[in-house]
Structure 1
Amino acid sequence: MEEKDHTNINGKDNTAEQHKLCLMRALVEHRDPSAKEADDLMLRRFLRARDLNVEKAATMFLKYLKWKRTFLPKGFVSEDEIEYDLSQNKICLGGQDKQGRPIVVAFAGRHYQSSKPGGLDEFKRTFLPVFLHFPSSATFDSNIILIPDGQEKFLAIGDLQGWGYSNSDVRGYLGFISVLQDYYPERLGKLFIVHAPRVFMAVWKVVYPFIDENTKAKIQFVEKQHIKSKLLEDIDESQLPDIYGGKLQLVPVQDA
């Protein structure tokens, strides 16, 4: 299943989409005046996530605004809010793929469910710097990745090396999926899952039904012997993380 393309051959918004975008803007600004702060790129992502259905996209975007006021009252994520998760170095940054999308590597084998109060919310916030550094969004104290103009998506590698039942945080995984799909739609360009052990598939069967069809189409499991060759289809060797046979060294997100 290929990712849907809502643009014409020149890469410009088609007339129908632009008309619906105008309708959506009028609708959300009427219902929530703070929507005026959102630019067309942001609104368009929500519109595309709902297959250009204006009412559904507006409802989704208004839900996002309400969530953001509660979950991100400062408009950004500070390091002290995600100190526990940052200490595990579970999220690292690479270079850019052939489309100019930043590369994010998440090491699931380094993730352990926090027992402290608010641990689930902290885990959700840990990924927000990845979503927030693009245009139209607040940042993680500063711009952590240089993004080409007009680029809105990222490529992710989910590395399950060393993953075991002690890393099995189903509530955390479902929380991440909810944030990605409900509040930052059309950000994920592609997700490669590598080094997946057989025991992980039991958890995957629980999580999979909660992933929407558009997101499922962007997920690929890669066998160990094909990791380098598969990643090189999307990433130049100079930008491929060295742990996968490339030449670029990964950097923990907090050190980027």
Structure 2
Amino acid sequence: MEADRSALDSKQDKAQEQQEAATPQHDTALKYSSQPELTKIRLMRAFVETRDPSSKEVDDLMIRRFLRARDLDVEKASAMFLKYLKWKRSFVPNGYISPSEIAEDIAHGKMFVQGVDKKGRPITVAFAAKHFQNKNGVDGFKRYVVFALEKLCSRMPPGEEKFLAIADIKGWGYANSDIRGYLASLTILQDYYPERLGKLFVVHAPYLFMKVWKIIYPFIDENTKKKIVFVENKNLKATLLEEIDETQLPDIYGGQMPLVPIQDS
């Protein structure tokens, strides 16, 4: 028992040394952690590194995101994180998704990114009416979702961990009603990219879409639900301007920033 405690203490000391040797960018972001968070980051790192050595390759910010997603419960966050590592090795064995793997989804032209909001979070716009099930099925769409999320994460400035999304539902119909795809993308976002979504504005939502939304809503975790805002058409620009400066607001919503296809960003 004493030996086990000694080994754990040793792992915690090592984690502390790694944290202290982190880059300034890493330190800047971690300074917003509470002391309980810092303690649990060390505990979780010590635990997951014994279960999966590849855990050593991730920084404390990723550990913190998984902890926050599970309300700082080390056991639950560790299980979630280890599941993520296993999924990543299986689903993205090369470490990235090539555009050639998702050519059909890219051709639909349904996701764009450009500009940042007032907090420095990159902005993405997704057009639901441009999404259709393709010949590669749900797995093909999941690869597209991972590709898009990785692109967004790569655009985050130093110290920022989240993005802002605008889901534009204008023109959406039954042909776009890919419930399996929607639920799969929700699972990827919540289970494998926790604490990455900062806010989601849903705009131009037709009545028909709300029927499908009622099916999806129960699968959304409570933390994510708090980040979703349905915007009335009459208040669209004013609501977006609360979070986004006009120079960064997409031009299709009355701002000055042209949208760029996510694969070109």
Alignment partners' CA distance in 1, 2:36 and 2:260 = 42
The equivalences for 1:79-118 within 5 A come to 79-114=99-134, 116=135, 118=136
* Structure 2 residue matching 1:232: 3-state secondary structure: helix
1:24-71 C-alpha deviation (Å, 9 max, x unpaired): 001100011111111101111000000000000000000000101110
Q: Does 1:123 align with 2:138?
A: no
Give 1:4-83 correspondences, 5 Å limit.
Answer: 12-83=32-103
Which residue is equivalent to 1:202? Answer: 211
Are the equivalent residues in 1 in contact too, given 2:122–2:152 (CA < 8 A)?
Answer: no
CA distance in 2, matches of 1:151, 1:239: 17
Shift of 1:180: 0.2
Select the structure that is richer in helix.
2
Do the aligned residues in 1 keep the contact of 2:203 with 2:231 (CA within 8 Å)? yes
1:183 maps to 192
Which residue is equivalent to 1:138?
Answer: none
Contact 2:204 2:233 in 1 (8 A): yes
SS in 2 for 1:173: helix
CA deviation vs aligned residue, 1:98-155 (integer Å, no higher than 9, x gap): 00000000000000111x2x321121121223422467xxxxxxx5x3x321101000
Deviation, structure 1 residue 87 = 0.2
Displacement of 1:255: 2.1
2:258 paired with 1:249: yes
Matched residues, percent identical?
61
Aligned partners of 2:86 and 2:96: how far apart in 1? 15
User: Residues 134 and 41 of structure 1: is their aligned pair in 2 closer, same or farther, counting only changes over 3 Å?
Assistant: farther
**CA distance in 2 between partners of 1:186 and 1:131 (Å):** 12
Contact 2:152 2:163 in 1 (8 A): no
Code of the aligned partner of 1:119: G
Would you say 1:237 and 2:246 are equivalent positions? Answer: yes
> What is the rounded CA distance, in whole Å, between the counterparts of 1:94 and 1:129 in structure 2?
16
Aligned 8 A contact 1:228 1:244 in 2: yes
Equivalent residue for 1:4?
A: none
Q: Which has the higher contact order (CA 8 A, sep 6+)?
A: 1
Contact 2:106 2:263 in 1 (8 A): yes
Separation of aligned partners in 1, 2:182 and 2:152: 23
| TM-score, scaled relative to structure 2 | 0.86
Q: Which amino acid aligns with 1:126?
A: Y
Asked if structure 2 preserves the Cα contact closer than 8 Å seen for 1:191 and 1:218, the reply is yes
Any gaps of 5 or more consecutive residues in structure 2? 1-29
Aligned mates of 2:181, 2:145 — CA distance in 1:
11
Residue identity in the other structure for 2:223: N
Contact 1:134 1:152 in 2 (8 A): no
Residues 174-208 of structure 1: CA deviation (Å, up to 9, x unaligned): 00000000000000000000000000011000000
Match of 2:242, SS state, is coil
Counterpart in the other structure of 2:6: none
Partner amino acid, structure 2, of 1:213: E
Match of 1:140 in 2: none
Structure 1 unmatched runs, 5+: 1-9, 136-142
Asked if residue 173 in structure 1 is aligned to residue 191 in structure 2, the reply is no
Structure 1 residue matching 2:223: 3-state secondary structure: helix
Normalised by the length of structure 1, the TM-score is: 0.89
Partner amino acid, structure 2, of 1:166: A
